Amino acid sequence: MWAEVRALRDMVVEQRVELRIAKDELHTQKHKVTDLEKENAVQASRLTATENEMTAIREELGATKTELQLQKSKVEEIERQNAVQAAGVSALVSRVTASEKELSATKTELQLQKSKVEEIKTEIADRPKLAFSAGLTNSGNVGPFSTETPLIYSRVFTNIGQAYSPSTGIFTAPVKGVYYFRFTAFHNRKEQWMAVNFYHNGQRILHNSEAADEGHSSISNALILQLEQGGVVSMRLPPNCVLYDDTSTLNTFSGFLLFPM
């Protein structure tokens, strides 16, 4: 029986030792648990901060995506506007190119026209300048005469080229060409015939006449003639006809060269 009691005592001692060891282990584990809880708390805090940071990042990312989409839309709009502007610029360049070509053609045509004008100027400069205009007299009545009488238009207004002679009343063509001649005639005697004859190289080629029923009468006419160099034209008063002239220049004889030949 004592043996059993000693065995039981030894067992109790052993259990106490084990219990103490278990308590020490428990105490150590409690410290570990406390440290782990603290660490977990720190980790939880860090996790919460991380989650908050992730939330902020997500929000910022969403805003960035929205802004990026807006920028993409703006870029697309700018690209569309640029495309429109590029098309406009291309069209403008085409128009400018066409205008430049047209301007070049116009310049070429202008240069050609200038050359033609210079040729015409040269031709005109080289062309003989012939023109005359003269009045008959300022002394009143001329005629009547019993025979045909040369009319001498002595009041010279223009005599370019000096082809008209105011002393003889004859125009002499210095060059071969086509000439224009015109005359007027007037008289103021009632029931008296007024007439003029136009002569070319001594041959009458035109006759105009009229009687003054109301106390005065006037006539005028014109001719275009081809004259050889040295050809002459003049005016004559037929027999028994009269003219009247004074400072009003009622009777005139004029002519000029249209073009040489």
Domain ranges of the chain: 1-126, 131-260
Residue 44: the pLDDT is 81
Model confidence at 218: pLDDT above 80: yes
**Helix or strand (DSSP H, E) at 40:** helix 2-126
Alpha carbon of residue 72 to chain centroid: 44
123 pLDDT higher than 80 = no
The model's confidence at residue 196, banded by pLDDT at 50, 70 and 90, is: very high
- Residue 208's alpha-carbon distances to 44, 183, 225, 233, in angstroms, are 138, 10, 17, 16
Q: Are 160 and 127 spatial neighbours (Cβ–Cβ below 8 Å)?
A: no
pLDDT at 55 over 70: yes
pLDDT for residue 235 is more than 80: yes
Write out the two tokens for 215.
Answer: 């106390």
Question: What mean pLDDT, rounded, does the chain reach?
Answer: 88
What pLDDT score was predicted for residue 179?
Answer: 98
- This prediction has a pTM of 0.54
Q: Is 154 helix (H, G, I), strand (E, B) or coil?
A: coil
CATH class of 131-260: mainly beta
| More confident of the two residues 46 and 130 | 130
Residue 226: per-residue pLDDT = 97
Q: Above 70 in pLDDT, residue 137?
A: yes
| pLDDT score for 67 | 87
pLDDT at position 35 is: 82
pLDDT of residue 87: 84
